[in-house]
């Protein structure tokens, strides 16, 4: 059976001298693995549309247990991400998170839109990389069923306070007074980073990326989002380690 869909190449593996096994985030089929014959050759008509980070129109032949690429046409290449090591490493991290958090064979339109928008802002430089990172981390966790409750203190329902504490294992925040009654560690959230987290989680999709923070508040947001990612995934991420190494230099 032949199917037509759109998809973003989030991983590529070389198979022999000429072929690739592609991991593709698609509109219709979810996250799938596709065998692509001959695309390592630049003479192949599908070569440019099957590169990492490429968003393409795809015609696939689907059997009971595999997909085979028949034809690919590039829609957006995101080629400039390869020209900056920090952008490249962050884009690879976004791809690893997407693979880790996206289930196979179900509709993932929100996640696809998120990563495409993130790639666009990363490539154009309209939003700095170190702010895109926590936005992507928190939003993809929300789309994957890990939405934290950051609306108010879980115990007393206080919405405003100078400082809250985010207990990751409960997925909730507590005001300073209520936090004293808990013995679990918590991440400190001052008012500005907490407001940013609430914006990322609850704002309309078109507005998700647009807010401003001071340098110190941004550092707190970055730390909190990364800790939540590591808590939810319960594993090390090689692309995250590499990005953090690059970003520090």
Residues 8-22 pLDDT 10s: 999 999 998 899 999
Distances (CA, A) of 171 to 147, 154, 159, 167: 8, 10, 16, 6
Among residues 30, 49, 77, the one where a domain terminates is 77
Percent residues over pLDDT 70 in the chain = 98
Among residues 57, 77, 97, the one where a domain terminates is 77
Residues 99, 60 share a domain:
no
Residues 114, 197 share a domain:
yes
Give the CATH number of the domain where residue 25 resides. Answer: 2.40.50.140
Among residues 17, 52, 77, the one where a domain terminates is 77
pTM of the predicted structure, to 2 decimals: 0.94
Task: Confirm whether 92 is domain-assigned.
Answer: yes
Task: Confirm whether 178 is domain-assigned.
Answer: no
Contact assessment for residue 111 and residue 102, using Cβ atoms and an 8 Å cutoff: yes
- The two three-digit tokens of residue 185, written as one number: 């560690």
Q: Per residue in 210-243, pLDDT tens?
A: 999 999 999 999 999 999 999 999 988 999 999 9
Task: Confirm whether 168 is domain-assigned.
Answer: no
Task: Confirm whether 63 is domain-assigned.
Answer: yes
Q: Which domain holds residue 196?
A: 80-147+183-248
Residues 85, 7 share a domain:
no
Residues 192, 238 share a domain:
yes
Task: Give the total number of structural domains in the chain.
Answer: 2
Q: Per residue in 23-60, pLDDT tens?
A: 999 988 889 999 999 999 888 999 999 999 999 999 99
Q: Per residue in 91-106, pLDDT tens?
A: 999 999 999 998 654 5
């Amino acid at each position: 059976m032949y199917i037509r869909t759109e998809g973003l190449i989030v991983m590529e593996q070389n198979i022999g001298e000429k072929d690739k096994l592609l991991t593709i985030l698609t509109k219709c089929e979810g996250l799938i693995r596709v065998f692509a014959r001959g695309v390592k050759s630049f003479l192949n008509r599908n070569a440019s549309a099957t590169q990492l980070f490429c968003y393409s129109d795809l015609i696939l032949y689907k059997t009971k247990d595999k997909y085979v690429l028949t034809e690919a046409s590039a829609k957006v290449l995101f080629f400039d991400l390869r020209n900056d090591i920090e952008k490249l490493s962050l884009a690879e991290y976004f791809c690893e998170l997407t693979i880790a958090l996206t289930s196979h064979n179900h509709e993932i339109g929100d996640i696809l839109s998120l990563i495409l928008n993130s790639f666009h802002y990363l490539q154009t430089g309209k939003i700095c990389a170190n702010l895109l990172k926590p936005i992507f981390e928190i939003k993809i966790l929300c789309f994957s069923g890990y939405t934290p409750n950051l609306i108010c203190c879980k115990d007393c329902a206080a919405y405003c306070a100078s400082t809250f504490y985010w207990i990751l294992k409960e997925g909730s925040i507590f005001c300073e007074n209520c936090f004293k009654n808990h013995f679990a560690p918590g991440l400190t959230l001052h008012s500005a980073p907490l407001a940013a987290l609430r914006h990322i989680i609850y704002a309309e999709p078109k507005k998700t990326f647009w807010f401003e923070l001071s340098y110190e508040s941004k550092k707190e947001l970055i730390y909190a989002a990364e800790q939540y990612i590591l808590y939810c995934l319960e594993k090390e991420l090689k692309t995250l380690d590499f990005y953090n190494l690059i970003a520090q230099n």
